[in-house]
Chains A and B, each alone.
Chain A
Amino acid sequence: MGNYLWNKLFLNWKGIKTYLIMKRLLIISNSIFAFGVFAALMLSGCRSGVKDGKKDADTLKVTGANASVYEDIRQAEKIFYTLPSPLESAMLIKSAGALFDDNLLNPIDNSRNYNTNRSMALNLGIYTTDLSFASLYDQTQLIINYMNAAKQMADGLGILDAISSEDIDQLEENIHNTEVIMDIVSQTYLNSNSYLEDNGQPAVAAMVLAGGWLEGLYISTQLVDMKDFNGNKLVGRIIDQKLSVDILIDLLSSSKGHPAIDELIGQVGQVKAVFDKITLKTTPVRPEYDQATNTTVLKSEVSADLTPEVFRELSETVAAIRSNLIK
């Protein structure tokens, strides 16, 4: 009888102990599942250079012919804000007839100073723009140097397959072939951006884009010959950047709250304040199909009122910000 009671008591105790262990395991496993759901929600919610969520309804008037199209355009799930790439910026400079000046490039030696995500991201953009600039002007040794500098920044950010040693070899083998070089530069930029966006690093991606754009604007403004200001093609391309500065602020704002991004928003805001002094007037855009070239021509005329004084202010503002980014 005593044994029976003892066994019953022991079994009950075992049962109670087992129950308590199982209960604790249940709490732990539920916590792990809850954390997993939370992490998955956070991970799937990350989009770089892309703003999720619905936009506010437009308040602009829509003409009758487009009203049905407007009604049909729902609010977007994803929004991309895109800037001129380093390659495009460099091409715009060259097409405006500007000469090359290697004094304007960020010295390679500065790369030793860059050991934070902020400085590496900004200067990945900056060095890629310098590389693009050098590429279009057949600066063979500079091309190699700046590709290596960009690779160093990409490696520091963990983007290990952005610029491989094979890319460097291919670059060296085709050092006099501008088309191949442009392809390589474009591919490495794509690799960097896609890595950052697909790995949930929108703030870092935005800094790369911002660094590249600011460098392009810096180089352009420094290359303008003030004796040849009126009707200067390069000045026209600089005025065009007014159209991109709001896009850049929207891009950066999607990562607001990140200290480096908040600082950049303030800096780009200074550039915008100067651009706001320029008035751009555009006539309505009329698309016309050119059968000979199978291309649509978007026809419109634009006028702008940029004075030399405002230009100098823009140039100095950009130079000061750029100096801060490369130190």
Chain B
Amino acid sequence: MKNSKTLLLLVVLFLTAGAAANGQCKSFAKKTCLPELGSYTHDGNYHATILSEGEEAELYKTFFSDMEYRMSVCSDENLPAVEFLVLDANRNVLYSSKDNNNSRTWDFRLQSSQQLRIVLKVPSGQNQGVPAQGCVSIMFGFRIKS
């Protein structure tokens, strides 16, 4: 009985700690990801979440032909480098960070406005233990096309 209560307490603490950690993601996103946008103006949107090794997140966004964009993807130090893929509406891969030296940023512009899908992948860890977990954030900056 005592062991089951201890276990339940640990589960409660673990799960509520996860929710509180989301609050830390905002600080992480502002401190780490935002400066990577450089001279591009941050659009003000917030995309950050806690992911574990082996997990993925997706994002759907419209990009406009009048703008130039920079995408910045950041992850906690305890996670392996996050890979990101950019796909068009027909699931064709337009960019892969893995094929570009695991780059964390990507600068691009469009001839015509498109809806794109971005897939963020945290690679699975090499160790057999509990998968590492941490903040993963993606931010977008824009500027008028020169």
B45 lies within 8 A of A78 (CB): no
A244 lies within 8 A of B62 (CB): yes
Question: Which of these, A70, A189, A197, contacts B44 with CB under 8 Å?
Answer: A189
Question: Which of these, A63, A80, A88, A96, contacts B92 with CB under 8 Å?
Answer: A63
Question: Which of these, B5, B55, B107, B119, contacts A33 with CB under 8 Å?
Answer: B5
Q: Which residues on B sit within 8 Å (CB–CB) of A44?
A: 15-16, 18-19
Q: Who on chain B is nearest to A33 by CB? A: B8
A29 lies within 8 A of B5 (CB): yes
Digit string of A6-36 for contact with B (CB within 8 Å is 1, else 0)? 0000000000000000000010011001101
Query: Taking the complex as formed, is B25 at the interface, i.e. its CB lies under 8 A from any CB of chain A?
Result: yes
Query: Taking the complex as formed, is A82 at the interface, i.e. its CB lies under 8 A from any CB of chain B?
Result: yes
In the complex, number of A-B residue pairs with CB atoms less than 8 Å apart: 210
Q: A91-B67, A190-B44, A298-B114 given as contacts; is B94 within 8 A of A247 (CB)? A: no
Q: A78-B51, A300-B112 given as contacts; is B43 within 8 A of A69 (CB)? A: no
A96, B144: Cα distance in complex, Å? 11
| Number of chain A interface residues as a range | 35 or more
Query: Taking the complex as formed, is A231 at the interface, i.e. its CB lies under 8 A from any CB of chain B?
Result: no
Q: Which residues on A sit within 8 Å (CB–CB) of B48?
A: 194
Question: Which of these, A36, A76, A293, contacts B58 with CB under 8 Å?
Answer: A76
Digit string of A185-217 for contact with B (CB within 8 Å is 1, else 0)? 111111001110111100000000000000000
| Number of chain B interface residues as a range | 35 or more
Q: Which residues on A sit within 8 Å (CB–CB) of B41?
A: 87, 179, 182-183, 186
A60 lies within 8 A of B47 (CB): no
Of the A-B pairs whose beta carbons lie under 8 Å apart in the complex, a sample of 16, sorted by A's number, is A40-B11, A73-B85, A75-B56, A76-B119, A78-B56, A78-B57, A78-B58, A79-B58, A80-B58, A84-B62, A87-B41, A91-B67, A200-B19, A240-B64, A243-B62, A244-B115
Seen from chain B, the residues whose Cβ lies within 8 Å of a Cβ on chain A are 1, 5, 8-9, 11-12, 14-16, 18-19, 22-23, 25-26, 29-30, 41-49, 51, 55-62, 64-68, 85, 88, 90-96, 106-115, 119, 121, 138, 142, 144-145
Apart from A80-B57, A190-B46, list 4 A-B contacts with CB within 8 A.
A33-B5, A33-B9, A44-B15, A243-B62
Seen from chain A, the residues whose Cβ lies within 8 Å of a Cβ on chain B are 26, 29-30, 33-34, 36-37, 39-41, 43-44, 46-47, 50, 55, 58, 60, 62-63, 66, 69-70, 73-88, 91-92, 95-96, 179, 182-183, 185-190, 193-195, 197-200, 237, 240-241, 243-244, 247, 250, 282, 284-285, 287, 293-302
